[in-house]
Amino acid sequence: MNRFDLTNATSHLLLISLAIDRHFWVNTLRLNELEILGTIFWLYQSAIFRKTAKDDIISKR
């Protein structure tokens, strides 16, 4: 596991814990906020996937 993978795992855990914390502790959570959070998380995940795929392609050259 390289440093990039470890940073990914840590930031994923942080993001997930923030989402869970927000869900459980904020009484006024609305569906729109959850959708926005989900969209941000999806964009974040896909950006990491693209970067990892690009790194793999570069390292195979």
* Digit-coded pLDDT (tens) for 13-54: 777 777 666 655 555 555 567 777 788 888 787 777 777 777
Q: 4, 30 in Cβ contact below 8 A?
A: no
Which has more confidence, 55 or 7? 55
Residue 7 pLDDT exceeds 70? no
**Minimal CA–CA distance to 29: which of 18, 44, 14, 45?**
18
pLDDT at 9: 66
- Is the model's pTM score more than 0.75? no
Helix (H), strand (E) at residue 12: helix 3-25
Residue 4 pLDDT exceeds 60? no
**Which distant-in-sequence residues (6+ apart) come within 8 Å of 37 by Cβ?**
19, 22
Q: Rounded distance, CA 41 to CA 61, Å?
A: 31
